[in-house]
Chains A and B, each alone.
Chain A
Amino acid sequence: MRVVVDFDRCQSNAVCMDVAPEIFEVRDDNFLYILDEKPSEALRPKVEEAVRRCPTQAISIAED
């Protein structure tokens, strides 16, 4: 599983960071950083929740 963020859509509102702080971090510069692009399978439910809760549909999961 690879976490993909469409940075053209992302509004840096940090909703994903609230769901999965292990993977997503919005820093003081107001940009989103992906801390772990290939998280372990154990984190899949959290990533899926972040996908659903992201208000701009910016996050997706690629299987490669």
Chain B
Amino acid sequence: MASAAPPGRVVVVGASLAGLSALETLRQEGFEGELIAVGAETTLPYDRPPLSKQVLQGHWEPDKIVLREPGQYDALGVTWHLGRRATGLDVSARTVTLDDGEPLAYDGLVIATGATPRRMPGTSELAGIHVLRTLDECLALRQELESASRVCVVGAGFIGAEVAASARVRGLDVTVLEALPSPLARAFPAEMGAACAALHLDQGVDLRCGVTVAGFEGEGRVSGVRLGDGSVVEADVVVVGIGVVPETGWLESSGLPLENGVVCDSTCATAAPGVVAAGDIARWPNNLFGETMRVEHWSNAVEQGTAAAKRLLAGPGDAVDFTPVPYFWSDQYDAKIQFLGRCCPTDEVRIVDGSIEERRFVALFGRDGRLFGALAFNRPRLLMAYRKLLAAKTSFEDAVAHAQGS
């Protein structure tokens, strides 16, 4: 556990959103010691959500996705080791090993190495098959979209759906392949997946659910995707969006408990003294929902980076539980999709405003008589009111009554 005395040197591994949030919080909380950030990418932290939206569509250039102005980065007083990878962690010696073999000592450590796209077998030999996580990957994909006419997206999750929308906006023919019977079927009740599907069908996307990908066609460069039934979807560019896996490889020999992410307690502390984790990589019990979760969303990276930094500075007995209401948004065509809380396919659903047909609605999700989540299409103001109700563990009945009264 972190000690009461503020640590002298904090190392943050992973120089992106969660890491930046931790660095800023440490300074805001008055930490005057040394701050070192290690990041595998060569850039200062930048914003990922526009990579599948404005940047991919060609509306924004990379200079628009900087997270902070240069002066703000300078003011933090951080030593940045960019283009460098952490390869190991020794929790008893309190050192992180970097890819040049050099051990870096720490008093406090923030693990914020995020997640990386899951890949499909047979995709590395062929040109034209992409994943999307980094700016470099975005620019490589964007360049190919400039001369492509047919794009095939594998996976109808949020990243796949946004890439499909951006490619459609660019005027390309788009096919989306989804293994599940409807988009998002693992996370949401079926009618919500249908609502997302409708957005794409409206725009002329060829969305095929319940299909399996058997392999890829082409010599040197991809020319199509072969389906389980033997048919081929022709494509000049393929984007694989089948989820991400936490970047825990460098921690495997550390003895730190890993379980689809870095295992933390309810306060973002790991099992090792002086080590906390935040962002897409961290799995922790969120006591507000009574559920151990790993959240792959922008707002969580910011909020958990803050919580983990405070945890590092907290004295014994001062640690507080991290109990956020998870939030994410997704922009597809003109639709603004926003979600608060938790959801699973078997939750009770109630549309409390608008309708799926109008592509404007608020849906509430209930479990065990309690409000668990809220999803909105094009209803930002109404949606946000539910954060307080979710944080207060409001009953489903009261939440529905609130909606009818508003």
Q: Is the CB of B298 within 8 A of A55?
A: yes
* B287-304 near A? 1/0 per residue, CB < 8 Å: 000000000001100110
* B326-346 near A? 1/0 per residue, CB < 8 Å: 010101000010100000000
Give the distance to chain A from B54, nearest Cβ to Cβ, in Å: 10
The 10 closest A-B pairs by CB, nearest first: A14-B384, A14-B380, A26-B381, A18-B384, A13-B380, A26-B380, A13-B329, A14-B381, A12-B380, A18-B387
Whole-angstrom CA separation of A12 from B335 in the bound complex: 12
Q: Tally of A-B residue pairs with Cβ under 8 A?
A: 43
Q: Is the CB of A12 within 8 A of B298?
A: no
Q: Is the CB of A52 within 8 A of B24?
A: yes
Query: Do A17 and B47 form a contact, CB below 8 Å, given A55-B298, A55-B299, A55-B329?
Result: no
B98 in the interface (beta carbon within 8 A): no
From B299, B302, B383, give the contact of A14 (CB < 8 A): B383
Give the distance to chain B from A35, nearest Cβ to Cβ, in Å: 13
Give the distance to chain A from B66, nearest Cβ to Cβ, in Å: 8
Query: Do A11 and B329 form a contact, CB below 8 Å, given A55-B298, A57-B67?
Result: yes
From A15, A28, A57, give the contact of B47 (CB < 8 A): A57
Give chain A residues whose Cβ lies under 8 Å from the Cβ of B378.
30
Residue of B nearest to A52 (CB): B302
A24-64 contacts to B, CB under 8 A, are 25-28, 30, 52-53, 55, 57
* B155-194 near A? 1/0 per residue, CB < 8 Å: 0000000000000000000000000000000000000000
B103 in the interface (beta carbon within 8 A): no
Whole-angstrom CA separation of A8 from B381 in the bound complex: 19
Give the distance to chain B from A45, nearest Cβ to Cβ, in Å: 10
Give the distance to chain B from A3, nearest Cβ to Cβ, in Å: 17
B286 in the interface (beta carbon within 8 A): no
Sample of 20 A–B contacts (CB below 8 Å): A11-B329, A12-B336, A13-B380, A14-B380, A14-B381, A15-B299, A15-B327, A17-B384, A18-B384, A26-B380, A26-B384, A27-B381, A28-B381, A30-B378, A52-B24, A53-B302, A53-B303, A55-B49, A55-B298, A57-B47
How many residues belonging to A are interface residues under a CB distance threshold of 8 Å?
16
How many residues belonging to B are interface residues under a CB distance threshold of 8 Å?
21
B16 in the interface (beta carbon within 8 A): no
Give chain B residues whose Cβ lies under 8 Å from the Cβ of A53.
299, 302-303
In this complex, the member of B298, B302, B384, B387 whose beta carbon has the largest number of chain A beta carbons within 10 angstroms is B384
Whole-angstrom CA separation of A57 from B299 in the bound complex: 12
Whole-angstrom CA separation of A14 from B298 in the bound complex: 15
Whole-angstrom CA separation of A26 from B299 in the bound complex: 19
Residue of B nearest to A30 (CB): B380
B270 in the interface (beta carbon within 8 A): no
B57 in the interface (beta carbon within 8 A): no
B267 in the interface (beta carbon within 8 A): no
Residue of B nearest to A27 (CB): B381
Give the distance to chain B from A53, nearest Cβ to Cβ, in Å: 6
Task: Kindly list 15 other residue pairs between chains A and B, CB separation below 8 angstroms, not including A12-B336, A52-B306.
Answer: A11-B329, A11-B336, A13-B336, A14-B380, A15-B327, A17-B381, A18-B387, A26-B384, A28-B381, A30-B336, A30-B378, A30-B380, A55-B298, A55-B329, A57-B67
Q: Is the CB of A15 within 8 A of B384?
A: yes
Give the distance to chain A from B224, nearest Cβ to Cβ, in Å: 36
Give chain A residues whose Cβ lies under 8 Å from the Cβ of B47.
57
Give chain B residues whose Cβ lies under 8 Å from the Cβ of A27.
381
B223 in the interface (beta carbon within 8 A): no
Give chain A residues whose Cβ lies under 8 Å from the Cβ of B331.
11
B21 in the interface (beta carbon within 8 A): yes
Whole-angstrom CA separation of A20 from B285 in the bound complex: 28
Whole-angstrom CA separation of A15 from B298 in the bound complex: 12
